[in-house]
A and B are shown apart, each in its own frame.
Chain A
């Protein structure tokens, strides 16, 4: 069961128009290394975790990742909400606007729709956790690329926060991986 809490994981108030960033940020919602893939990956994998620690950790990180989806979408929404069609087109968002208007469709920055083929569920705890560790590193790298694409502090502050969460999650998954490995899985 899930309960909604009416605040973001970290505050977002974007004040500067930076429509190119909206396009790039979208990939962290529906791209290969994005938050939606992360949430669904851990959510799906939790059912085959062999003990309490694994069940709890994958459940709780999956839940946090859903909150991060909301953060990415919030940034895209705030950046595009008041943009004109001309501005969207001039900043490479013309195709996205044609398909989705001002809606936030889970896709990467090229407009490729989200697909569950971005992640695996093997039922093997070591294989799944290895993927989870790699996924966190890939998301961290993507956040660093995104940080390099802008000088807007309202965006960078949020990206630094999200990047740091990837580091924390990687560490937790690594800890769990080592624990299972030692247990002989």
Chain B
């Protein structure tokens, strides 16, 4: 079976990177952690509705770059979901604090990624050469196009 009913296994840490401890960053009352929410496509615990017996697919990054990317994507996802919630609940200060924390974490992951692997946005210019155009673009199958 590709999917299981068990919650995220914290011991696996399959896209955990050294120095990142966001597995512990859980606001137990309302939201999943960025990592758990990202896998499910839903950050809000009581809004999560799986389809049949299918929960989510566990991502397996192939290298350090992909681990960092998935971490960044998880934070970016969490920010977006909180963004939608805050649009309707701007008075929720606790959630806004969480939002700010995730933005900070996302920014530092993005800086780290850009520095090592190239820009995420065109205005990131750590590189000495213009490298925005460099492959891979997000739709490229860098993972396994040779088998498709």
Contact = CB atoms under 8 A, between A and B. Distances in A.
Interface of A: 3-17, 52-53, 56-57, 60-61, 64, 70, 73-74, 77-79, 81-83, 144, 147, 153, 156-157, 160-165, 167-169, 171-172, 175-176, 179
Interface of B: 2, 38, 40-42, 44, 47-51, 54-57, 59, 66, 69-70, 72-73, 76-77, 80-81, 83-85, 87-88, 90, 119-122, 132, 137-139, 141-148
B139 A78 contact: yes
Which 6 pairs across A and B sit closest by C-beta, in order of nearness?
A157-B57, A13-B143, A164-B41, A161-B41, A56-B87, A74-B139
Given A6-B119, A78-B139, A81-B141, A167 B47 contact: yes
A171 to B, nearest CB: 6
A147 B51 contact: yes
Contacts of A172: 84-85, 87-88
Contact of B84 (A57, A147, A157): A57
B120 A160 contact: no
A166 B69 CA distance: 24
Contacts of A168: 41-42, 44, 47, 81, 84
Nearest to B137: A6
